């Protein structure tokens, strides 16, 4: 019998036991709902949720600050961001948030695509000739600001395979230090493999497509081809 024990990026003082058993457990979630006394969040639960999300949206989550992922000054104002990204609000702007392709357990989370790299390349291929759509690919900041920074990132691997990016495709590099939450108002469609960001976008009424197995898979929150 195999067990896992690992730290959690959500709270450095806690650990996860058998994380992958919990990660995709729809039955566990449904049983939790069944035995809850309250059908809506209590005041205490709501305050905890607001604090958790508030820390993440502001860039003050422990993992963000510890790894220096984002820039929390006023450089990410709307007009400056639009100029930096060359964003055209008259087009449909699709934002793809790529995962760390080498992250633990990622090989078991595929659904529509088996792996992150195949998904990113195929998405580019699908959209490359559509002049009414711009695709922005935001790579994970841990590609640069993590202990495994020596590994090739998604952008490098993709460019090695397709040589030249289509004119309607852009990468948002980790070095820009842009918080994904500052991009929400520009997103017509968010595309993810998996991750907490999907739930955060749904919370902010951003339409989401998930191509991998997420913790909320099959619950009717996102589009799951």
pLDDT digits (tens, 9 = 90+) for 120-141: 999 999 999 999 999 999 999 8
Instruction: Read off the tokens for 5.
Output: 């024990």
Q: What is the pLDDT of residue 177?
A: 92
**Percentage of residues of the chain with pLDDT beyond 90:** 54
pLDDT band at residue 149 using 50, 70 and 90 as cut-offs: low
Q: Which ranges of the chain does DSSP label H, i.e. alpha helix?
A: 19-23, 26-35, 43-57, 62-67, 78-85, 116-127, 154-162, 196-203
Predicted structure pTM score: 0.88
- Residues 36-64 pLDDT 10s: 988 899 999 999 999 999 999 999 999 89
In angstroms, rounded to a whole number, what is the distance separating the alpha carbons of residues 119 and 127?
12
Q: Closest Cα partner for 178 from 206, 144, 154, 202?
A: 144
Mean pLDDT of 168-183: 94
Q: How much is the pLDDT for 169?
A: 97
Dist CA 192 CA 95 (whole Å): 9
């Amino acid at each position: 019998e195999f067990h896992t024990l690992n730290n959690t990026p959500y709270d450095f003082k806690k650990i996860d036991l058998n994380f992958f058993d919990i990660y995709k457990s729809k039955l566990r979630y449904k049983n939790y709902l069944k035995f809850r006394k309250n059908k809506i969040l209590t005041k205490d639960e709501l305050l905890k949720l607001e604090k958790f999300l508030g820390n993440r949206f502001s860039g003050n989550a422990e993992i963000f600050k510890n790894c220096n992922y984002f820039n929390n000054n006023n450089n990410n104002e709307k007009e400056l961001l639009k100029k930096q990204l060359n964003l055209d609000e008259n087009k449909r702007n699709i934002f793809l948030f790529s995962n760390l392709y080498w992250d633990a357990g990622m090989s078991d989370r595929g659904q529509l695509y088996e792996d992150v790299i195949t998904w990113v390349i195929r998405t580019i291929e699908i959209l490359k000739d559509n002049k009414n759509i711009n695709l922005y690919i935001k790579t994970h900041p841990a590609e640069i600001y993590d202990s495994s920074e020596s590994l090739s990132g998604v952008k490098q691997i993709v460019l090695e395979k397709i040589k030249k990016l289509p004119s309607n495709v852009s990468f948002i590099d980790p070095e820009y230090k842009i918080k994904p939450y500052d991009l929400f108002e520009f997103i017509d469609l968010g595309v993810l493999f998996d991750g907490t960001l999907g739930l955060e976008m749904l919370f902010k009424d951003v339409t989401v497509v998930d191509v991998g197995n997420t913790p909320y898979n099959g619950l009717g929150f996102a589009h799951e081809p």
